[in-house]
Homo-oligomer: A and B are copies of this chain.
């Protein structure tokens, strides 16, 4: 049941009991059973969100991102799928889908991404890993590991 002022394209695949708050923009994506999507969230085509996840407000999940089950995505989290983004191609024309291929990102089961984090393309975030708030993740995060900072690195104990 979407909230107010939502745009959910007909090609979106929603599981059972998905909760969608206000001001949500979804197209071409897949969202599993029981997941909650916060306000001001955009999820693009060919992104997959698993079951029993929380996707918090102001987050952006782009093409090529796979989020497994029971993952927490904080507020204002941004995913990336392009290593060197440019507006135009070498001929000075706006880039189209033919000019690049999205580089995938995987967030494994039970991981938590803190609010304000930025996740670069090509990264895998392991099971139950924690990305600290405001971290900029430039490389893989091992399972059960907490990373913080810009660039993100494992937290010293």
Q: Mark A121-156, 1 if CB is under 8 A from B, else 0.
A: 000000000100111100000000000111100000
Residues of B contacting A3 in the complex (Cβ-Cβ under 8 angstroms): 7
A-B contact pairs, 21 of them (CB 8 A): A4-B7, A5-B5, A5-B7, A7-B22, A21-B25, A23-B25, A25-B40, A34-B94, A40-B40, A42-B58, A54-B85, A58-B76, A60-B75, A76-B78, A76-B118, A80-B114, A80-B133, A84-B112, A85-B114, A116-B116, A120-B133
Name the residue of chain B whose CB is nearest to the CB of A40: B40
Q: Could you tell me the distance in whole angstroms from the C-beta of A57 to the nearest C-beta in chain B?
A: 5
B87:A71 contact, CB within 8 angstroms: yes
Residues of B contacting A66 in the complex (Cβ-Cβ under 8 angstroms): none
A70 within 8 A of B: yes
Number of interface residues of A (CB under 8 A): 54
A114 and B79 CA atoms in complex are apart in Å by 11
Q: Could you tell me the distance in whole angstroms from the C-beta of A156 to the nearest C-beta in chain B?
A: 13
A78 and B76 CA atoms in complex are apart in Å by 7
A74 within 8 A of B: yes
A87:B52 contact, CB within 8 angstroms: yes
Name the residue of chain B whose CB is nearest to the CB of A62: B75
Residues of B contacting A149 in the complex (Cβ-Cβ under 8 angstroms): 150-151
